Amino acid sequence: MAKPSAPRPKQQPDRKKQAPLAAAPLKKQGAQSSAPTRKPAAARAAGAPAASAAPASRAVAPAAGARISRRAADRIRGGHLWVYASDVETLALPEGDQDAPSLLPVADNRGLLLGTALFSPTSQIALRMVSRHAIDQAEWLSLLEERLRAAIRRRKPLLSDVVSGATDACRLVFSEADQLPGVIVDKYGPLAIVQLLTKGLDTPAVRAVVVRALREEMTAKATPAAQAIRAILERPDARMRELEGLSQPGVEPLWAERGAAKLASTEFHLNGLTFHYDANSGQKTGAFLDQRLNYAAAAAWAKKLGATGRALDVCTYQGGFALHLAQVAEQVTGIDASHASLEVAEHNLETNRAALKAEVDWVQGDAFQILRDWSEAGESFDAIVLDPPAFAKTKRAVEGALRGYKELNLRALKMLRPGGLLVTCSCSHHVGWSDLEGAVAAAAADANRRVRILERRGPALDHPVVLNLPETEYLKCLVLEVE
C-alpha cells in the first residue's frame, strides 16, 4: 500500500531519540529588536527580500532563537526545510513563556539569519522552516493563509472532471511540498480531512485559518457544487501526536454546513469508480490518493499487453488496484493482512459491481507467505501488482527493505506468464529508483526472466515532488513487461 502520502515529517534516520531541547531563558525582545526591517508577509511569500533589509544570508538574527550547525545551515540554504535536534547548537527562548513558542528565528553558527521555523521541542525534527525572514505570529498566520489558498487553487484544475463524477477526491495541501510543513488536507467528496502534524501548528489560531481558507475556496459559494465540501474534520495521527506532544483533536467537525455536522463517512470517486470513506478508520487520512493515476495506468497497460486473464493485487488495502484491474481482467484476487481493509474492499466491490467484468475474491494473510506458497505450487497470473507498505522508514532499514522487495518481486516473477505485466511499487523515500530497480533486476536474474521497463511513475500530481526536498519523492512505481 502506498503510504506515507506525505512527506509526513519523518524522524531523522540513524539517530537515537532526543530528549526535549533545553534552553537558557532570555528577556523578551523589545521594539529595538535586531531583526531586519521587514516587508508584509504577503510580499515575502515567494521569498522576495525586504527592500530595506540585508539579504537573509547576511542579516543578523535576533538574540532569542536557535543557532544550528554548518551542515544544517547548508541544507537550509539548499532549499530543505528541516533541522534535526542534534543539529541545534544553541537555543535561547524568550523569558517568561510557560509554553514553548511556536515560532523561532533560526541562524547559522555565525549568527547570520536563515529565517523563521516552527519549533517542536520534543521532536527529533526540532525546526521546520516557514520563511527566509524573521516573522512574528501575525505574519506567519497571514503567510499560512496565503499558502493554503495557493495550494488549493493549484489543485482545482485536477478536479476538472468532477462534474462527470470521475474524480472528486485529491490532496489539497501536501505539507512541505506546499511550503506548509506539517499541514495535510485531503478531500474525499464532500469531506475535507485536516491533519496538523507539528507542535507549532497545534493552536486555535492555525485551525481558524485552515477552516477559513477551505470554506472560502472549496464551499459551494466558491467552486462548482460537485467540487464543494460540506464539512471539515481533523483526523489525528496517533504516532505523530506522541512524537510531537500534540493535543487530542475534538470529535466535532472543525466546521460543517447545516445538516452535515455528523458527516464522517461518505463516498468518493477515483477514475470513475466509487470508494467508501470513513473518517474514523483507515490509514493516513483514510485512503490512498497518491496512487490514483497509477491505478488507471495498471489497467491500461494490462489491456495494451493483453494481460487480461488472471490478475493479482498484493497488499490491496481497500481494493484500489484490484478494482481498476477488474475493469479489464477476467479474474482478480486481492491479498491483504488486514481483515478490516478487506471488508471495505468488499463493500467497494459491491458498489462498483455493474462497472466490472471480473470475478473478484479477497485473501487475508501475510503476503510473503502466500506468494511463497503459491509460486511453489505453480500458480500463474497475467498481471501482478505489488504495492507493499513502507519497508524502510530509516536509512538503517534500507538493506532489509531491499531484501523484502527482492523476495516479493522474485515470487511474482515466478508466477507471471510470458508477456505478463508487473507493477511494483515502493513508498519509502529512503529507497531510491536505483535501489528499487536493482532489487527487481536481482529478482529477475534469480527467476531467469527478462524484464522490460514500460514506465517509471510517481505519485499523482496532487502530491507534487519538489527537487530540493527528496522526501517528497517517496512513491516509486515501475511498470514492467515480463518475457
Q: What is the pLDDT of residues 273-309, one digit of tens each?
A: 999 998 877 555 567 899 999 999 999 999 999 999 9
Q: Which DSSP string do the residues of 167-195 spell out, in sequence order? A: --EEEEEEGGGGT-TTEEEEEETTEEEEE
Q: What DSSP element (H or E) covers 312?
A: strand 310-314
Q: Each residue of 34-43: pLDDT tens digit?
A: 333 344 433 4
Q: Each residue of 311-351: pLDDT tens digit?
A: 999 999 999 999 999 999 999 999 999 999 999 999 999 99
Closest by Cα among 109, 89, 57, 2 to 385: 2
The residue with greater pLDDT, 120 or 19, is: 120
CA distance 270 to 284: 17
pLDDT of residue 286: 62
pLDDT of residue 48: 39
**Range with the poorest average pLDDT among 264-268, 298-302, 358-362:** 264-268
pLDDT of residue 254: 95
Q: List the chain domain ranges.
A: 141-272, 290-482
Q: Each residue of 370-402: pLDDT tens digit?
A: 999 999 999 999 999 999 998 988 888 999 999
Whether the per-residue pLDDT at 71 is higher than 90: the answer is yes
CB 177 within 8 A of CB 460: no
Q: What's the mean pLDDT when you consider all of the chain?
A: 86
CA distance 181 to 131: 11
Question: Is there a shared CATH topology between the 141-272 domain and the 290-482 domain?
Answer: no
Fold of 141-272: Transcription Regulator spoIIAA (3.30.750)
The CATH architecture that domain 290-482 belongs to is: 3-Layer(aba) Sandwich (3.40)
What's the mean pLDDT in 266-275? Answer: 93
Cell (9 digits) for 105:
528565528
Q: Which DSSP string do the residues of 400-460 spell out, in sequence order? A: HHHHHHHHHHHHHHHHEEEEEEEEEEE--TTS-HHHHHHHHHHHHHHHT--EEEEEEE-S-
Catalytic residue among 170, 425, 427, 477: 427
* Helix 398-415 / helix 367-376 crossing angle, nearest 10 deg: 30
48 burial type by CB count under 10 A (0-12 exposed, 13-18 middle, 19+ buried): exposed
Q: Each residue of 205-228: pLDDT tens digit?
A: 999 999 999 999 998 787 877 789
Whether the per-residue pLDDT at 55 is higher than 60: the answer is no
pLDDT of residue 58: 59
Q: Each residue of 150-186: pLDDT tens digit?
A: 999 999 988 876 545 689 999 999 999 999 999 999 9
- Using 50, 70 and 90 to split pLDDT, how confident is the model at 476? very high
The alpha carbon of 198 is separated from its chain's Cα centroid by a whole number of angstroms, namely 14
- Using 50, 70 and 90 to split pLDDT, how confident is the model at 21? low
Q: Each residue of 73-126: pLDDT tens digit?
A: 999 999 999 999 999 999 998 776 667 789 999 999 999 999 999 999 999 999
Tell the residue number behind the cell numbers 481493509, with chain if given: 341
Decide if 427 is catalytic: yes
CA dihedral angle for residue 99, residue 104, residue 110, residue 114, rounded to 10 degrees: 170
pLDDT of residue 158: 84
CA distance 341 to 318: 5
State which amino acid sits at residue 207. Answer: R
Whether the per-residue pLDDT at 31 is higher than 70: the answer is no
CB 200 within 8 A of CB 118: yes
Over pLDDT 90: what percentage of the chain? 71
